[in-house]
Structure 1
Amino acid sequence: MQKVVGELLASCSCILCSYHKIYLAMPSINSNQSSPVSSQEHSQASTIMDKEAQETITPPSSSSAQPSATSPHHDDLLLPTELQNSILVAYRSIGIGTFGVVMRFVGMPLEKIALFMNSSQVTGKHQFAQSIKLTFQKGVLSPYKVVGPASLVAWFMQYSVMGLAFQFFDHALSKALGVAPVYYGDELMEPPPPSSSNTNHNHDATHQIKSITKTILAPILAGSLESTVANRAEVQRYYGPTKLTAIESHLKWNPAARFCGPAFLSNAMRNVIMCNTSFILTPITFKLYYPQERKSQGSLFWFGMGMNFVGNAVAITQQALWGRALDYAVYADGGAVVGATANTATTTATTQVARNISYSQVIKSSLQKDGIAAFFTVPKWASRILMNAPVQGSLPWFYNNMLPLGEDSVLGVARTLYGDDGKKNNCAIS
């Protein structure tokens, strides 16, 4: 615990430091006494190498500002750059999806506790104990009984699509706007780049605006796409398949709305926040502001966990809004639930229960009843961290440290297949 606290305090103190002082004080990778000039020369040499490797797809005028989407050690694998990038995007997406399925299934009890904690089904004192009781009220294995094949597929799609979508939007927007993609893999362990010496302030301002625009748009698009894939499955795990079917039978929604599921907006906002945390804030702040001499796989792991705690402090408000919105759609004024009293409920009561979500009414009634505690309390935040931190907090570490270990092998197989295919084509031509 002391190590974790130490890493988090070190991270916070670094962010408060100025960028220029950190860079000047940074030690070299190969020497204990390095100068800013030598670091600049190293950066310039790396830029020249990147330029030569990308000149087939990148104009010379912008190559120095747009580094390769892959790590430099992949350049000797003799694959077309576009093919290499596509293979790596697919590999990373599949890896993230598999990682997400395993971690989410193992942590299903924590997810159910967090879902109940951020709903209106627990009120007053001892909300955490109430959530645990609701989670295991039908047995120790009851949290796993709501997980079907659809949930496993949805988890895989959720995390693989999140990884795929972010990589796609990040690189597509970077290429369109002429800015660099987000740091990845070995780049996080390297020293920050030197401050720009360009005296053209108008050019610098334009470049910064483009970079900020890309940084904002990429997680918004990726998080929205993730919710499109995963929200309905999350709602199904919250309600249960039977109850969700009963609700949908009473709501006259178009196919697109039915596919996205109830409470889509708050779900998308939560995913945008966490996508920003995992793929934007964590790598950028670690790359630029973390002490160079303390960078390692372990420090990245704990730094990602710390950033996850911060991101969840914001995301918990949207998670609570999502849970209360779902309760609003299901519960009538008397507290009846669709399908709960199927033999006694009247048609009028059933019609009152299944209703479309009004976020303004949800927020207003929640604040009137519970105040700000409806959307944020320390127990709600803690339950969200219990559910989210094992997978989302370790995701930057897995994405930047574990996945790169298999990239050369994957590209080696691709190079072999690509070479064999080329030989066959040459034989056919001859």
Structure 2
Amino acid sequence: MQRENQEITASSPFQRKKDADLVADQVGLPCLIAEPALITYRSIGVGIFGMGARSLGMPLEKIALFMNSSQVSGKGQFLQAMQLTFREGAFAPYRVIGSASLVAWFLQYSVMGAAFQTFDHSLSKLFSVKPVYYGNELMRPRTRHDEEYSSSDYRMKSTIKSVLSPIMSAALETKVSNRAEVQRFFGKQQFAAIENGLKTTGLQRMAGPAFTPCMMRNLIMCQTTFILTPTTYAIYFPQEKKNKSSLFWYGLGMNIFVGNVAAITQQALWGRSLDYLAKHGQIRYSEVIREGLEKEGIRAFFTVPRWFSRVLMNCPVQGCLPYFYNEVLPLGEYTYLSAIKMFIYQPFLEEVESLQEKRREEVETT
């Protein structure tokens, strides 16, 4: 009975909240140092992963951008998008990648990771609820201790936290990435010409055109990646089938059949808004939606080919992100914290102790 209680306690929500603390304890690093260090580590890892994957998949992104614009219509839209993508050669899609795009990709994913972790942890403390599932927490079985967190009050606060965290993260991510995405959509020269003709404030210029649909798309994908996928996997996926492989495929499935089904509508609105901007010098979303529905009906914002092109672009990065975030990144946390302790914390602590010792000697002398 005592052993059973120990097992339950080890997998209880209280224990899940302390996974970062466990790694810190193993290394011998205070939690106040370890927690922000781990947020930084995970954010940089996600940023590097996103930048590399998006760079390699640039042709797929260009196809998706054309597919979700008004430049293709009627039959054979996917073929039209491919022709537009490669009309200037096989490597033409890569020529639109500038330093701004590389920086934006890194910041987009690293900021998304850092922002979500920061907002999730901060709001969790504010509302006294659990942070979202992470790492080994996804693999643990649910226990009777979870029933303590099933009250209506707790669920309401947890729901509010789960809604606010992705919204705040997506807003910050879009602020970082949207302008560079618009540049890749138009190309450097055309975008510069369009941007020079816009009457915008400095803040609006930094955010870039068509900010709202871009943010809504990012919100949907952030919610899918960091909330829906880990939460539903941890709670509802059969315990006996939980492993790294099932998490990988589950993350892909959620990305393809949940996140992208909703996000494609906002991607299409974003692309059509930019086409409208190029023609009229401004964006009026009501007119963009009206024109799209009049010409193509609902197909203006959702078709299977549009969805498929979006999946081709997004799935290799966003679909694999839950697996990378929850299974790959934790592998380096111990080494990373050990390096922090060896090269930063211990030298700092030794310096502080040395100064304290000198201070004591001065006091004793006087």
TM-score when scaled to structure 1?
0.79
Higher helix share: 2
Partner of 1:362: 288
Q: 1:378 aligns with which of 279, 295, 304?
A: 304
Query: 1:184, CA displacement in angstroms?
Result: 0.4
List per-residue Cα deviations over 1:242-262 (Å, max 9, x = no partner): 111111222111111111010
Classify the secondary structure of the residue corresponding to 2:88: coil
The yes-or-no answer on 1:87 pairing with 2:14 is no
Output one character per residue of 1:103-142: Cα deviation in whole Å (capped at 9) or x when no partner.
0010000000000000000011000000000000000000
Tell me if structure 2 keeps the 8 A contact 1:95–1:160. Answer: yes
Q: Secondary structure at the match of 1:125?
A: coil
The alignment-based identity, stated in percent, is 51
| d(CA) in 2 for partners of 1:106, 1:303 | 23
Q: Is the 2:11–2:141 Cα contact (8 Å) retained in structure 1?
A: no
Amino acid of the structure 2 residue aligned with 1:110 = L
Inter-partner Cα distance in structure 2 for 1:300 and 1:223: 24
Of residues 117, 122, 125, the one that matches 1:172 is 122
User: Contact 1:66/1:178 (CA < 8 Å) preserved in 2?
Assistant: no
User: Contact 2:39–2:114 (CA<8 Å) still a contact in 1?
Assistant: yes
Residue 304 (str. 1) matches residue 304 (str. 2)? no
Q: Quick one: which amino acid aligns to residue 270 of structure 1? A: R
Which of residues 233, 247, 250 in structure 2 aligns to 1:286?
Answer: 233
Question: 1:427 Cα deviation (Å)?
Answer: 1.9
Aligned residues: 355
* CA distance 1:361–1:164, shift in 2 (3 Å): same
The offset of 1:90, in angstroms, is 0.2
Kept after mapping to 2: 8 A contact 1:184/1:400? yes
User: What does the per-residue CA deviation read over 1:165-199, in whole Å, with 9 as the maximum and x for residues that have no partner?
Assistant: 0001000100111111001011111112436555x
Cα deviation code 1:80-100 (max 9, x no counterpart): 212100000000000000000
Asked if 2 retains the 8 angstrom alpha-carbon contact of 1:65 and 1:180, the reply is no
Structure 2 counterpart of 1:316: 264
CA distance in 1: counterparts of 2:329 and 2:15, whole angstroms: 25
Shift of 1:293: 1.3
Which segments of 5 or more consecutive residues in structure 1 lack a partner in the other structure? 1-34, 51-63, 332-352
The corresponding residue for 2:356 is: 429
Match of 2:180 in 1: 233
The Cα offsets for residues 256-311 of structure 1, whole Å up to 9 and x where unpaired, read as: 11110100000000000000010000000110111111111111110000000121
Paired with 1:167 and 1:429, the residues of 2 have a C-alpha distance of 36
**Matched residue of 1:70: which SS?**
helix
SS of residue matched to 2:69:
coil
Residue 69 (structure 1) shift: 6.0
**CA distance in structure 2 between the aligned counterparts of 1:196 and 1:401, rounded to whole angstroms:** 23
2:9 is aligned, of 38, 44, 54, to 44
Q: Measured at CA, do residues 401 and 246 of structure 1 come closer, stay the same or move farther in structure 2, by a change above 3 Å?
A: same
Which residue number corresponds to residue 346 of structure 2? 419
2: distance between equivalents of 1:363 and 1:185? 41
Q: Evaluate the alpha carbon distance shift between residue 46 and residue 283 of structure 1 in structure 2; reply closer, same or farther with a 3 A threshold.
A: closer
- What's the counterpart of residue 363 of structure 2? none
**Which AA in structure 2 matches 1:103?**
A
Say whether the 8 Å CA contact 1:266–1:319 is kept in structure 2: yes
The letter for the 1-side match of 2:69 is S
Q: Does the CA contact (< 8 Å) of 1:71 and 1:186 recur in 2?
A: no
For residues 34 and 339 of structure 2, what CA distance do their matches in structure 1 show? 11
What is aligned with 2:155?
208
- AA aligned to 1:43 is I
Deviation by residue 1:19-41 (Cα, 9 ceiling, x = unmatched):
xxxxxxxxxxxxxxxx9x97665
Q: Distance in 2 between matches of 1:40 and 1:194?
A: 11
Aligned-partner residue type, residue 305 of structure 1: L
Q: Secondary structure at the match of 2:20?
A: coil
What value does the CA root-mean-square deviation take over the aligned residues? 1.9
Q: Which moved more, 1:291-300 or 1:396-405?
A: 291-300
Q: Counterpart amino acid of 1:238?
A: F
- What code does the residue aligned with 1:323 have? G
Alignment-derived partner of residue 360 in structure 2: none
Q: Work out whether 1:222 is the aligned partner of 2:158.
A: no
Q: Which runs of 5+ in 2 are unaligned?
A: 358-366
Which aligned pairs between 1:184-199 and structure 2 lie closer than 5 A? 184-194=134-144, 196-198=146-148
Output aligned runs, 1:386-401, within 5 Å.
386-401=312-327
Pick which of 418-427 and 285-294 moved more: 418-427
Distance verdict in 2 for CA 1:365–1:197, change over 3 Å: closer
Letter aligned with residue 213 of structure 1 = I
In the alignment, which residue of structure 2 is the partner of 1:32? none
Distance 1:197 1:376, change over 3 A: closer
Match of 1:410 among 326, 336, 339: 336
Tell me the equivalent position of 1:119: 69
Letter matched to residue 78 of structure 1: G
* 8 A Cα contact 1:93 1:159, kept in partner: yes
Contact map agreement 1:263 1:325 (CA 8 A) in 2 = yes
**What is the TM-score with the length of structure 2 in the denominator?**
0.93
